[in-house]
Structure 1
Amino acid sequence: MKIFVILGAINAALAVALGAFGAHGLEGKISEKYLEVWKTGVQYHMFHAIGLFVVALLLAKAPQSSLLSTSGWLMMAGIILFSGSLYVLSISGIKVLGAITPLGGVAFITAWILIVIAALKW
Protein backbone atom coordinates (compact mmCIF):
# COMPACT_ATOMS: atom_id res chain seq x y z
CA MET A 1 0.00 0.00 0.00
CA LYS A 2 2.71 2.47 1.03
CA ILE A 3 4.57 2.07 -2.28
CA PHE A 4 1.50 3.16 -4.26
CA VAL A 5 1.02 6.26 -2.09
CA ILE A 6 4.67 7.16 -2.70
CA LEU A 7 4.47 6.42 -6.44
CA GLY A 8 1.19 8.33 -6.70
CA ALA A 9 2.68 11.40 -5.02
CA ILE A 10 5.88 11.29 -7.09
CA ASN A 11 3.91 10.91 -10.32
CA ALA A 12 1.44 13.66 -9.42
CA ALA A 13 4.36 16.02 -8.76
CA LEU A 14 6.00 14.96 -12.04
CA ALA A 15 2.76 15.51 -13.95
CA VAL A 16 2.46 19.04 -12.55
CA ALA A 17 6.11 19.80 -13.34
CA LEU A 18 5.85 18.36 -16.85
CA GLY A 19 2.60 20.23 -17.45
CA ALA A 20 4.25 23.50 -16.42
CA PHE A 21 7.28 22.71 -18.57
CA GLY A 22 5.02 22.06 -21.54
CA ALA A 23 3.06 25.26 -21.01
CA HIS A 24 6.04 27.51 -20.39
CA GLY A 25 9.13 25.76 -21.69
CA LEU A 26 7.87 24.20 -24.89
CA GLU A 27 5.45 26.85 -26.13
CA GLY A 28 6.84 28.25 -29.35
CA LYS A 29 9.56 25.60 -29.47
CA ILE A 30 7.46 22.69 -30.75
CA SER A 31 4.45 22.67 -33.06
CA GLU A 32 0.91 23.05 -31.75
CA LYS A 33 0.28 19.44 -32.77
CA TYR A 34 3.10 18.17 -30.56
CA LEU A 35 2.15 20.54 -27.75
CA GLU A 36 -1.28 18.86 -27.75
CA VAL A 37 0.40 15.44 -27.71
CA TRP A 38 2.44 16.62 -24.69
CA LYS A 39 -0.76 17.80 -22.95
CA THR A 40 -2.38 14.40 -23.55
CA GLY A 41 0.62 12.74 -21.93
CA VAL A 42 0.36 15.04 -18.91
CA GLN A 43 -3.40 14.50 -18.60
CA TYR A 44 -3.14 10.70 -18.57
CA HIS A 45 -0.09 10.91 -16.32
CA MET A 46 -2.10 12.81 -13.69
CA PHE A 47 -5.19 10.60 -14.05
CA HIS A 48 -3.09 7.56 -13.32
CA ALA A 49 -1.10 9.21 -10.53
CA ILE A 50 -4.50 9.60 -8.88
CA GLY A 51 -5.24 6.01 -9.87
CA LEU A 52 -2.20 4.94 -7.86
CA PHE A 53 -3.73 6.63 -4.80
CA VAL A 54 -6.98 4.76 -5.49
CA VAL A 55 -5.05 1.48 -5.55
CA ALA A 56 -3.35 2.39 -2.25
CA LEU A 57 -6.71 3.15 -0.62
CA LEU A 58 -8.24 -0.07 -1.89
CA LEU A 59 -5.24 -2.06 -0.66
CA ALA A 60 -6.02 -0.71 2.82
CA LYS A 61 -9.33 -2.59 2.53
CA ALA A 62 -7.84 -5.72 0.91
CA PRO A 63 -4.11 -5.74 1.74
CA GLN A 64 -3.45 -9.19 0.28
CA SER A 65 -5.08 -8.51 -3.08
CA SER A 66 -2.68 -9.45 -5.84
CA LEU A 67 -5.21 -8.05 -8.33
CA LEU A 68 -4.91 -4.60 -6.77
CA SER A 69 -1.11 -4.75 -6.56
CA THR A 70 -0.94 -5.82 -10.18
CA SER A 71 -3.28 -2.97 -11.06
CA GLY A 72 -0.93 -0.46 -9.43
CA TRP A 73 2.10 -1.82 -11.25
CA LEU A 74 0.20 -1.75 -14.55
CA MET A 75 -0.67 1.90 -13.93
CA MET A 76 3.04 2.61 -13.42
CA ALA A 77 3.87 0.74 -16.63
CA GLY A 78 1.14 2.68 -18.42
CA ILE A 79 2.51 6.01 -17.21
CA ILE A 80 5.96 5.08 -18.48
CA LEU A 81 4.82 3.62 -21.81
CA PHE A 82 1.85 5.88 -22.63
CA SER A 83 2.81 9.25 -21.19
CA GLY A 84 6.54 8.66 -21.54
CA SER A 85 6.27 7.83 -25.23
CA LEU A 86 4.12 10.92 -25.83
CA TYR A 87 6.66 13.14 -24.05
CA VAL A 88 9.53 11.77 -26.11
CA LEU A 89 7.48 11.89 -29.33
CA SER A 90 6.58 15.54 -28.69
CA ILE A 91 10.18 16.60 -28.25
CA SER A 92 11.83 14.34 -30.81
CA GLY A 93 9.17 14.04 -33.51
CA ILE A 94 10.14 10.37 -33.94
CA LYS A 95 6.79 8.98 -35.06
CA VAL A 96 7.68 5.31 -34.50
CA LEU A 97 7.41 6.04 -30.77
CA GLY A 98 3.68 6.30 -31.34
CA ALA A 99 3.70 2.50 -31.67
CA ILE A 100 4.62 2.22 -27.97
CA THR A 101 1.76 4.43 -26.77
CA PRO A 102 -1.03 1.83 -27.26
CA LEU A 103 0.88 -0.62 -25.05
CA GLY A 104 0.59 1.91 -22.25
CA GLY A 105 -3.09 2.35 -23.03
CA VAL A 106 -3.63 -1.40 -22.73
CA ALA A 107 -1.80 -1.35 -19.39
CA PHE A 108 -4.11 1.44 -18.17
CA ILE A 109 -7.26 -0.36 -19.30
CA THR A 110 -6.13 -3.65 -17.77
CA ALA A 111 -5.31 -1.90 -14.48
CA TRP A 112 -8.83 -0.49 -14.20
CA ILE A 113 -10.40 -3.84 -15.14
CA LEU A 114 -8.39 -5.53 -12.39
CA ILE A 115 -9.85 -3.06 -9.89
CA VAL A 116 -13.34 -4.02 -11.05
CA ILE A 117 -12.53 -7.72 -10.65
CA ALA A 118 -11.03 -7.15 -7.20
CA ALA A 119 -14.14 -5.23 -6.12
CA LEU A 120 -16.41 -8.03 -7.36
CA LYS A 121 -14.50 -10.50 -5.17
CA TRP A 122 -15.20 -8.55 -1.92
Structure 2
Amino acid sequence: MYKNLTIIAFLGAITILLGAFGAHALKETLAPEALKSFETAVRYQMYHVIVLLIVNSVDYFSNQLKNRLAIIFLLGIFLFSGSIYGIYLFGIPVRYLWFVTPLGGLLFVIGWLMLCYDFYKKALKK
Protein backbone atom coordinates (compact mmCIF):
# COMPACT_ATOMS: atom_id res chain seq x y z
CA MET A 1 0.00 0.00 0.00
CA TYR A 2 2.69 2.52 0.98
CA LYS A 3 4.62 1.73 -2.19
CA ASN A 4 1.56 2.71 -4.24
CA LEU A 5 1.03 5.85 -2.16
CA THR A 6 4.68 6.88 -2.56
CA ILE A 7 4.49 6.53 -6.34
CA ILE A 8 1.15 8.34 -6.46
CA ALA A 9 2.36 11.24 -4.29
CA PHE A 10 5.46 11.59 -6.48
CA LEU A 11 3.24 11.62 -9.56
CA GLY A 12 1.16 14.36 -7.91
CA ALA A 13 4.28 16.48 -7.44
CA ILE A 14 5.22 15.96 -11.09
CA THR A 15 1.69 17.00 -12.07
CA ILE A 16 2.05 20.30 -10.24
CA LEU A 17 5.43 20.92 -11.86
CA LEU A 18 4.05 20.17 -15.33
CA GLY A 19 1.07 22.43 -14.71
CA ALA A 20 3.32 25.29 -13.61
CA PHE A 21 5.62 24.70 -16.55
CA GLY A 22 2.66 24.80 -18.93
CA ALA A 23 1.19 27.92 -17.35
CA HIS A 24 4.44 29.86 -17.44
CA ALA A 25 7.01 28.49 -19.88
CA LEU A 26 4.70 27.12 -22.55
CA LYS A 27 2.27 30.02 -22.49
CA GLU A 28 4.54 31.98 -24.82
CA THR A 29 5.55 29.12 -27.11
CA LEU A 30 2.37 27.09 -27.70
CA ALA A 31 -0.67 28.15 -29.68
CA PRO A 32 -3.80 28.54 -27.51
CA GLU A 33 -5.29 25.27 -28.78
CA ALA A 34 -2.06 23.38 -28.06
CA LEU A 35 -1.84 24.92 -24.59
CA LYS A 36 -5.43 23.84 -23.96
CA SER A 37 -4.52 20.25 -24.90
CA PHE A 38 -1.51 20.38 -22.57
CA GLU A 39 -3.71 21.68 -19.73
CA THR A 40 -6.17 18.83 -20.38
CA ALA A 41 -3.33 16.32 -20.00
CA VAL A 42 -2.28 17.88 -16.68
CA ARG A 43 -5.87 18.07 -15.43
CA TYR A 44 -6.67 14.43 -16.27
CA GLN A 45 -3.41 13.35 -14.68
CA MET A 46 -4.28 15.18 -11.46
CA TYR A 47 -7.83 13.80 -11.37
CA HIS A 48 -6.52 10.27 -11.49
CA VAL A 49 -3.72 10.92 -9.01
CA ILE A 50 -6.33 12.17 -6.53
CA VAL A 51 -8.58 9.15 -7.11
CA LEU A 52 -5.62 6.82 -6.61
CA LEU A 53 -4.66 8.61 -3.39
CA ILE A 54 -8.17 8.20 -2.02
CA VAL A 55 -8.60 4.60 -3.13
CA ASN A 56 -5.22 3.57 -1.74
CA SER A 57 -5.72 5.43 1.56
CA VAL A 58 -8.91 3.75 2.74
CA ASP A 59 -9.71 0.22 3.81
CA TYR A 60 -12.98 0.16 1.86
CA PHE A 61 -11.31 -1.33 -1.22
CA SER A 62 -9.50 -4.66 -1.44
CA ASN A 63 -5.75 -4.67 -2.02
CA GLN A 64 -6.38 -6.49 -5.28
CA LEU A 65 -8.63 -3.68 -6.54
CA LYS A 66 -6.18 -1.04 -5.32
CA ASN A 67 -3.35 -2.66 -7.25
CA ARG A 68 -5.42 -3.17 -10.39
CA LEU A 69 -6.66 0.42 -10.34
CA ALA A 70 -3.13 1.67 -9.77
CA ILE A 71 -1.92 -0.22 -12.83
CA ILE A 72 -4.88 0.81 -15.00
CA PHE A 73 -4.84 4.50 -14.02
CA LEU A 74 -1.05 4.80 -14.11
CA LEU A 75 -1.01 3.28 -17.59
CA GLY A 76 -3.85 5.62 -18.54
CA ILE A 77 -1.85 8.62 -17.29
CA PHE A 78 1.26 7.43 -19.11
CA LEU A 79 -0.59 6.86 -22.39
CA PHE A 80 -3.13 9.71 -22.32
CA SER A 81 -1.21 12.52 -20.65
CA GLY A 82 2.20 11.19 -21.64
CA SER A 83 1.34 11.17 -25.33
CA ILE A 84 0.17 14.79 -25.14
CA TYR A 85 3.34 15.76 -23.28
CA GLY A 86 5.36 13.95 -25.94
CA ILE A 87 3.72 15.97 -28.68
CA TYR A 88 4.02 19.39 -27.05
CA LEU A 89 7.17 19.06 -24.94
CA PHE A 90 9.32 16.84 -27.10
CA GLY A 91 7.94 17.58 -30.54
CA ILE A 92 7.02 13.97 -31.34
CA PRO A 93 4.87 14.08 -34.47
CA VAL A 94 1.18 13.41 -33.86
CA ARG A 95 1.21 10.70 -36.53
CA TYR A 96 3.31 8.54 -34.18
CA LEU A 97 1.03 8.98 -31.18
CA TRP A 98 -2.48 9.43 -32.60
CA PHE A 99 -3.63 6.03 -31.31
CA VAL A 100 -1.98 6.27 -27.88
CA THR A 101 -4.03 9.12 -26.40
CA PRO A 102 -7.44 7.44 -26.88
CA LEU A 103 -6.03 4.17 -25.54
CA GLY A 104 -5.06 6.01 -22.35
CA GLY A 105 -8.56 7.49 -22.19
CA LEU A 106 -10.03 4.02 -22.59
CA LEU A 107 -7.93 2.83 -19.63
CA PHE A 108 -9.35 5.69 -17.55
CA VAL A 109 -12.89 4.57 -18.45
CA ILE A 110 -12.05 0.95 -17.63
CA GLY A 111 -10.71 2.00 -14.22
CA TRP A 112 -13.84 4.00 -13.46
CA LEU A 113 -16.02 1.07 -14.53
CA MET A 114 -14.02 -1.20 -12.21
CA LEU A 115 -14.81 1.19 -9.35
CA CYS A 116 -18.45 1.28 -10.40
CA TYR A 117 -18.63 -2.52 -10.44
CA ASP A 118 -17.02 -2.74 -6.99
CA PHE A 119 -19.53 -0.25 -5.57
CA TYR A 120 -22.39 -2.15 -7.23
CA LYS A 121 -21.26 -5.51 -5.77
CA LYS A 122 -21.05 -3.98 -2.31
CA ALA A 123 -24.47 -2.34 -2.69
CA LEU A 124 -26.03 -5.72 -3.51
CA LYS A 125 -24.62 -7.21 -0.31
CA LYS A 126 -26.32 -4.60 1.88
Give the alignment's TM-score, normalised by structure 2. 0.85
Q: Which residue of 2 aligns with 1:70?
A: 68
Distance 1:8 1:107, change over 3 A: same
8 A contact 2:27–2:35 mirrored in 1: yes
**Which of 84, 87, 101 is the aligned partner of 1:86?**
84
Match of 1:116 in 2: 116
98-107 or 3-12, larger mean C-alpha shift: 3-12
Gaps of at least 5 residues in structure 1 are: none
How much identity, in percent, do the aligned residues show? 32
Q: After TM superposition, what 4+ stretches of structure 1 lie above 4 angstroms from structure 2?
A: none
**Bigger relative contact order, structure 1 or 2 (CA pairs below 8 A, ≥6 apart):** 1
SS of 1:121's equivalent in the other structure is helix
Q: Does 1:95 align with 2:94?
A: yes
Using structure 1 for the length normalisation, give the TM-score: 0.87
In structure 2, what is the equivalent of residue 6 of structure 1?
A: 6
SS at match of 1:86: helix
Corresponding residue SS for 2:28: coil
- Maintained 8 Å contact 1:26/1:35: yes
**AA paired with 2:52?**
L
**Distance in 1 between residues matched to 2:119 and 2:4, nearest whole Å:** 18
Q: How many residues get paired?
A: 120
Q: CA RMSD in A?
A: 1.6
